[in-house]
């Protein structure tokens, strides 16, 4: 039994449909990616999972049970625009939030200290939020979501606006939570994070789930339409080959767009006639490309 099971949920706001028949399952120790452009229905989905609003149709089950107030202690939420009281001290507000989720004051204090240590910011314990830099505020926001050790974590754009060092730090923390068996629902615009973290994803577009499943399986469904070529000498005449869509010359490598995989053989043949091949790779589509393709196609 997966800790989080969403079945065919539908949500209408008046005559506008915000989420239309979404189903997904997140198992223990898994990060599930929820992708979509702005307004695709991600936030509405997350709010339904959090029990803030109820789906019009379908059901959400937590460890097999329906939503109840007790679930609140089991859920951790990091909102997209993370919110904290600017003028309240870190320890006061985090312990307050932890207490609201059923933690004792003492346990909350310990948990907070442990997390601050992990993020190497122990000195912020008694500081006001407004005194901290943005990156450090986000760390505190993240701690607010996980301080009570929830089983199910919902992270909305967890890494947005962070510098690379802090992204790595938070990414490591999220991976750590995954490895300790948490169930994580994760939304983002940044595809490289998804490829690194998520096993399964759903791409939503205009309220509908359009692509769903295992990241590797999804990639396999999409044809490989890009060749990377590096040679010791310049190869000419690539543009005139049949089936070549574009040729882009980068500093050390040439990127060639093709209409189908057979064209790749012709390119290899053509290049071998002119130079020694240093690198030849038929590229898998990136999630970014898949995303733009699925979302873009439906835009028309």
Partner 1 sequence: MNNFWTVVGFTIRNKARAKSFVVSTIIMVAIISIAVNLPYIIDKFSSDAPDRIGYLTASSEEAKLSSVTPAVVGDQMREYFAKQEHPDYEFVPIVNLNSDEANQKRLLDALSSGEIDAYATFEDDGTSFPVMVLHAEKEYGDTSKANMQAVLQSIKTQFALQGLGLTEEQQTALFSQAVVDSVKVNTIGEALEEEVEEESGARYGVVFIILFLLFFTIMGTGQLIATEITAEKSSRVMEILVTSVSPLKQMFGKIFGMFIVGLIQTALFVATAVVNMLLPHNKSTLIDMGFDISEVPVDLYIYAIAFYLIGYFLYATLYAGVGSIVSRTEELAQAVMPLTFLSLGGFYIGMFSMNAPDTMLVKASSFIPFFSPYAMLMRVGMGDVAGWEIAVSLGVLFLTTLVCGWLSAKIYRTGVLLYGKRPTIKELRKAMKAYKL
For residue 243, report the phi and psi dihedrals to the nearest 5 degrees: 90, 0
SS3 content of the chain, % helix, strand, coil (to 5): 40, 30, 30
Q: Which residues bind partner 1 (CB under 8 A)?
A: 11-14, 47, 50-54, 69, 72, 75, 77, 79, 81-88, 92-93, 96-97, 99-101, 144-145
Q: Output 136 or 231, the one with its CB closest to partner 1.
A: 136
HSE on the CB side for 15, CA within 13 Å? 0
Q: How far is the CB of 103 from partner 1 (least distance, A)?
A: 10
Cβ proximity to partner 1: between 145 and 203 the closer is 145
Closest by alpha carbon to 48, among 29, 24, 31, 64?
24
- Pinpoint the alpha helices (H) of the chain: 42-49, 90-100, 105-118, 134-146, 164-179, 191-197, 215-221, 262-272, 287-299
What is the nearest approach in angstroms of partner 1 to the Cβ of residue 26?
Answer: 17
Q: How far apart are the first and last CA of the chain?
A: 40
Least spacing, CB of residue 34 vs partner 1, in Å: 17
Cβ nearer to partner 1, comparing 15 with 179: 15
The answer to whether residues 21 and 206 touch, using CB atoms and an 8 Å cutoff, is: no
> Tokens for 172?
């490591």
CB of 203 to partner 1, least distance (A): 24
Q: How many CB atoms lie within 10 A of CB 189?
A: 16
Q: Which of 55, 66, 61, 67 is nearest to 20 (CA)?
A: 55
Backbone angles phi, psi at 84, to 5 degrees: -145, 160
Tell me the closest approach of the beta carbon of residue 75 to partner 1, in angstroms.
Answer: 6
Provide the minimum distance between the beta carbon of 56 and partner 1 in the complex, in angstroms, as a whole number.
8
Closer to partner 1 by CB, 83 or 223: give it: 83
Q: Select 101 or 199, whichever has its Cβ closest to partner 1.
A: 101
Please identify, using beta-carbon distances, which residue of 11 and 178 lies nearer to partner 1: 11
Nearer to partner 1 by Cβ, of 76 and 285: the residue is: 76
Q: Alpha-carbon Rg of the chain, whole angstroms?
A: 23
CB 128 within 8 A of CB 79: no
From the CB of 2, what's the least distance to partner 1, in Å? 21
């Amino acid at each position: 039994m997966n800790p989080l099971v969403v079945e065919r949920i539908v949500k209408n706001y008046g005559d506008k449909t915000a989420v239309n028949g979404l189903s997904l399952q997140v198992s223990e120790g898994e990060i599930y990616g929820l992708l979509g452009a702005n307004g695709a229905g991600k936030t509405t989905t997350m709010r339904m999972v959090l029990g803030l609003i109820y789906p019009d149709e379908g059901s959400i089950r937590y460890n097999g049970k329906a939503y109840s107030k007790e679930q609140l202690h089991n859920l951790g939420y990091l909102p997209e625009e993370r919110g904290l009281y600017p003028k309240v001290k870190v320890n006061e507000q985090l312990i307050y939030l932890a207490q609201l989720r059923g933690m004792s004051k003492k346990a909350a204090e310990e948990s907070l200290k442990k997390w601050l240590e992990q993020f190497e910011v122990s000195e912020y314990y008694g500081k006001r939020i407004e005194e901290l830099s943005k990156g450090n505020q986000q760390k505190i926001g993240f701690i607010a979501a996980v301080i009570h050790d929830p089983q199910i974590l919902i992270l909305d754009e967890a890494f947005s606006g962070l510098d690379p060092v802090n992204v790595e730090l938070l990414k490591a923390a999220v991976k750590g939570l995954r490895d300790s068996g948490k169930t994580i629902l994760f939304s983002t615009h940044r595809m490289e994070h998804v490829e690194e973290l998520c096993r399964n994803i759903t791409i939503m577009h205009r309220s509908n789930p359009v692509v769903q499943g295992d990241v590797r399986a999804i990639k396999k469904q999409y044809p490989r339409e890009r060749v990377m070529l590096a040679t010791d000498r310049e190869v000419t005449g690539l543009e005139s080959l049949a089936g070549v869509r574009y040729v882009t010359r980068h500093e050390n490598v040439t990127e060639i767009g093709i209409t189908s995989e057979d064209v790749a053989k012709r390119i290899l043949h053509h290049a071998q006639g002119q130079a020694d091949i240093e690198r030849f790779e038929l590229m898998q589509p990136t999630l970014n490309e898949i995303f733009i393709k699925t979302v873009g196609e439906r835009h028309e």
